[in-house]
A and B are shown apart, each in its own frame.
Chain A
Amino acid sequence: MKNNIIHYCNIKNSEVYLDGKKLYEGAGEEDFSSFIKGVYKNFNLDYPKFYKMDGLCKLAIASSSILLEDLKDEIDPDMAILLSNKSSCIDVDLKHLDSISQGEESYASPANFVYTLPNIALGEISIKYKLRSENSFFIFEGFNPTFMIEYANSLTQLNKASSVLCGWIELNENNYNAFMFIIKPENGIEFTRKNLEKLI
């Protein structure tokens, strides 16, 4: 059987959707940091480490938790994670840059520096869901459904994973868009370029 999209979650424009259904709406004019805090509280994510994370990891943890929380027992322990975005981890990079550009006052913070790699988001999801699995982070100019389909399918075809948590997870200041979904050889929405472009 071919891979299908079995569940998906969107966080964009101050709103949170699960499988196309709106579950949460933020205040509208708030910045990303207030909005994501609101999401955390609304969904009772109960993960104190959340507050230590940079924005990109918060977005990744919020969207993956909303997607995975109800599926707990059904999550394949070898589910791969395949994330991508455009801006890498620019927000925390700018913070680190600022901290080292203060002349005599320069003092890099290890708590910031550790987040200055986009794949830390994969590590955070892996830790939260105990996924000792294949994972990788890619950068493209824009959402690239063709690559996502080719690579996710190769992971299952080559027996590297039974299912794949895929995502476009973009954050640049207050512009954000998270689209996370699970693909698996089960009934679901056809895993095609057209569908992905529609669902993002």
Chain B
Amino acid sequence: MSNLEKLTKAGIVDPNHLSDAEKKTVESLSDDEVNCLISVKGKAQAAGIAAAPKII
């Protein structure tokens, strides 16, 4: 499974909203980075942290 597929399946990214350059960035991630993203963003989503204004 590609990184893009893993992150899409985890609900972390939507490939329809990623540019080709962003997809290359996603595919360049190591397994550790992919797993870390899935972990932290999964927790954020579970906590209801949605898109919000930029923090300071």
Tell me, yes or no, whether A binds B: no
